[in-house]
Every structure is written in structure tokens, then in C-alpha cells.
Amino acid sequence: MSNPLLDWFTEEWNKYSAKKLDMGKGCIRFKKPEDIPLKLIEELAKKVTVEDYIAQYEKALSTRNKN
């Protein structure tokens, strides 16, 4: 299943950073603070509504509680 926001982010990453994307399920890893592409993170934050964030959080909690 494709996630449009994830697809957008990984595609945009190369435009904003020369570093290889090191990403887990819930994190993006950086070796140095100056490696963080702040403009891209800003754009990402604008694309996620509070309602979407809460829905994802609740989904993650319900999945975690089932295990």
C-alpha cells in the first residue's frame, strides 16, 4: 500500500539534501544538526493536519495494544 505523503517526502528529500535518507517507521536520523533540511521539514509539517496526526497516533496505539 502506498502512502502519498511518504512518497512525496522521499521524492523531495533529494531536492533539499545531498545526504542519503536514513529513516525508520517513526523517525528520520541525522548525524549533525546542520544536516537537517529545515525547509523540507517545514513543508512536511504544513501537510499534516492535527486531525491526521491524532488519527495516526491513535492507530499506532491500538496496534501496539493488540500485541
As a whole number, mean pLDDT of residues 60-65 equals 82
Question: What pLDDT score was predicted for residue 67?
Answer: 59
- What b/e sequence results for 25-46 when a residue is b if at least 16 CB atoms lie within 10 Å of its CB, and e otherwise? eeeeeeeeeeeebeebeeeeee
Question: Would you give the DSSP letter of residue 21?
Answer: P
Encode pLDDT of 7-59 as tens digits.
999 999 999 999 999 999 878 999 999 999 999 999 999 999 999 999 988 98
Please tell me whether the overall predicted TM-score, pTM, comes out greater than 0.95 for this model.
no
Give the model's confidence band at 2: pLDDT under 50 very low, under 70 low, under 90 confident, else very high: low
